Amino acid sequence: MTIEEAQSKVDIWIKDVGVRYFSELTNTAVLMEEVGELARIMARKYGDQSAKPSDKEENMADEMADILFVLICLANQTGVNLNEALEKNLEKKFTRDKNRHKNNPKLQP
């Protein structure tokens, strides 16, 4: 699925199932909540926190998809074409950061 197809499918779901988009502010708060859920998984799986028995049901991929879904909602309701935005952002990174990380001594082996 392309990013444009994802934006379209989310819009269809919102209109058919979700009734309407939450406000932009509510969706921003929901996005932060979803990022926090992913952060909890990361801290316990890759960080120093120990997992609890209830953490075994956590699904990192699903949490990432939740983040993407809400981000797409925000893009749709604010008129952002994520495909174009990502292409422009990557172009900027390839130009601006062309040698930045290669010259960073902290990243050298």
| Burial environment of residue 37 by CB neighbours within 10 A (0 to 12, 13 to 18, 19 or more) | middle
What is the C-alpha to C-alpha distance for residues 25 and 46, in angstroms, rounded to an integer?
31
Residue 103 lies in a domain: no
Give per-residue pLDDT as tens, 50-109: 888 877 778 999 999 999 999 999 999 999 999 999 999 999 999 988 888 888 889 888
Residue 54 lies in a domain: yes
Reported confidence tier of residue 8, pLDDT bands at 50, 70, 90: very high
pLDDT of residue 54: 77
Number of helices and strands in the chain (H, E)? 4, 0
How many distinct structural domains can be found in the chain?
Answer: 1
CA 11 → CA 30, 97, 99, 101, distances in Å?
17, 34, 39, 38
Give per-residue pLDDT as tens, 83-95: 999 999 999 999 9
Residue 73 lies in a domain: yes
- Residue 14: which CATH number? 1.10.287.1080
Instruction: Provide the whole-model pTM.
Output: 0.88
